[in-house]
Chains A and B, each alone.
Chain A
């Protein structure tokens, strides 16, 4: 292309001088012009011839006649010279005009051919550049979209995990509540156990009262035995005083006294056993009361320990929940931003379509440049507009003021 352009420029420069053209057309035309142009002849030749003739006549001749003839020849020579000069100027003007016309034609032809050749060479290159750019843009935008989609997916996963860890079913807060309920159940069981022990103590205390009554009953038995023994003794005395008639009664009195001795012995043993039992009951009661106090202290300590643990765990989970909530809010914000980016990346589809249409039109232009028939500009523009698919293409086609980026909408049929 550069070489062709230079040869055209050389032809344009060389042609007016009638030689040195390089291109085929320019060389032929220049040669024709050079051949048809007459050789330059000096306009002063007739004048010199007239003057020379007059001088010769004057030298060879003699008298005034010779001088008149010489003057006449000189005058004729000057007149002939003037005519020749005028004719030469006319021819020069005609050739100058022809050369100017030829130069204009040559320049016009060179200009049209140059633009066509330029377009034929550069348009396919532009088209390839656009196609390459469009392809690279699509690949990179697709990769960006995939990465942002992946980021969004990971954010969703992280948010779900955060919700699961901090709150909701199975979360830290939920586990805390479950632990608190279970520990409260344990404390309640301990309290119930304490109450049961108190009831047992009460029953043991009642037993202690019974042993006192039993001690009294044993004492009563001993007293009855002593009285009976005394009565048996009195009966034996009265039987001895009655002599032989009281002998049988004396035997009965002895037996009664023997029974009263046994009763007194039994009462004594009962009193001893009751005392032993009473001592055991008192010891048991004392031990139970001691255990109860210890249990109360233990339960109270356990309750306090559980309360502290639950409280500390609650503080930790609240902090965790607060952090998780903050993370969720931030993640929601990031996700919204990423979704915004993904939406914005849809520009590639619109740009790709617009560039595709430009590529198609460049192909059509390349075909038109190779055709002998000039393209119909109006039909071309109508065809171009008919292939538009985005609103901004219509706006650009009409040359209207650019508006904001288009936003989508939906129509239900």
Chain B
């Protein structure tokens, strides 16, 4: 059974790049435009991994990850923050929210797949 990955990013091109990369590798992908949209699409259901942007309208990535981790089904779901920000304070905020990795854009598809395969739960 294919693993499900949720990608939350307000940039359609980033969603497409991540989606293409993961779908070609056999993952099922759920796309969301921001944190609020992601929570709505999850609707409390478990996913195997979440990739989230930090700066998004309606609900930013840090707030989204905090709410995601509060859900029983996704308490242990690994999260990769995918952002243009590289500041240590931002990284620390992501780590405190419960993220497992911090990836700075632009990313290489192979690099993304490597990180996903390391973090996705069996």
Contacts and interface: CB of A to CB of B under 8 A. Distances in A.
A146 B103 CA distance: 22
A352 B53 CA distance: 14
The bracket for how many chain A residues form the interface is 20 to 34
Contacts, number: 100
Nearest to A357: B55
A342 interface: yes
Interface SS majority for chain A: helix
Contact of B17 (A145, A353, A391): A145
A71 B9 CA distance: 105
A322 B109 CA distance: 29
Interface string A321-350: 000000000000000000100111111111
A390 B95 CA distance: 19
Interface string A127-168: 000000000001001101110010011001000000000000
B120 interface: no
A342 B12 CA distance: 13
A389 interface: yes
The bracket for how many chain B residues form the interface is 20 to 34
A408 B13 contact: no
Contacts of A141: 13
A349 B54 CA distance: 12
Contacts of A64: none
A409 interface: yes
Nearest to B86: A391
A295 B47 CA distance: 70
B100 A350 contact: no
Interface SS majority for chain B: mixed
B109 A350 contact: no
Interface in B44-59: 54-55
Interface in B9-31: 9, 11-14, 16-17, 19-20, 24
A36 interface: no
B106 A142 contact: no
Interface string B80-110: 0001111000010011000111111111110
A343 B105 CA distance: 9
Contacts of A352: 11
Contacts of B99: 413
A413 B92 CA distance: 9
B111 interface: yes
Contacts of B106: 343-344, 346-347, 350, 406-408
B12 A389 contact: no
A62 interface: no
Contacts of A149: 16-17, 19-20
Interface string A22-46: 0000000000000000000000000
Contacts of B108: 339, 343, 408
A175 B82 CA distance: 47
Nearest to B95: A413
Given A352-B11, A389-B55, A152 B85 contact: no
B115 interface: yes
Interface in B27-81: 54-55
Contacts of A153: 20, 24
Nearest to B94: A413
B85 A345 contact: no
Given A389-B84, A410-B102, A342 B107 contact: no
A159 to B, nearest CB: 12
B109 A145 contact: no
A389 B85 contact: yes
Interface string A184-211: 0000000000000000000000000000
A411 B16 contact: no
Contacts of A391: 84, 86
A152 B17 CA distance: 11
A231 B16 CA distance: 122
Nearest to A342: B17
Interface string A346-371: 11111011000000000000000000
Nearest to A392: B84
A409 B17 contact: no
A126 to B, nearest CB: 22
A411 B102 contact: yes
A104 B61 CA distance: 55
9 contacts: A152-B24, A339-B109, A345-B13, A348-B11, A389-B83, A409-B104, A410-B102, A411-B101, A413-B99
Given A153-B24, A390-B85, A410-B102, 19 more contacts: A141-B13, A156-B24, A342-B17, A342-B20, A345-B17, A346-B106, A347-B106, A349-B84, A389-B55, A389-B83, A389-B84, A406-B104, A408-B106, A410-B104, A410-B115, A412-B118, A413-B94, A413-B99, A413-B102
What are the 4 closest A-B residue pairs judged by CB atoms, nearest first?
Answer: A149-B20, A346-B106, A142-B12, A349-B11
Interface of A: 138, 141-142, 144-146, 149, 152-153, 156, 339, 342-350, 352-353, 389-391, 406-413
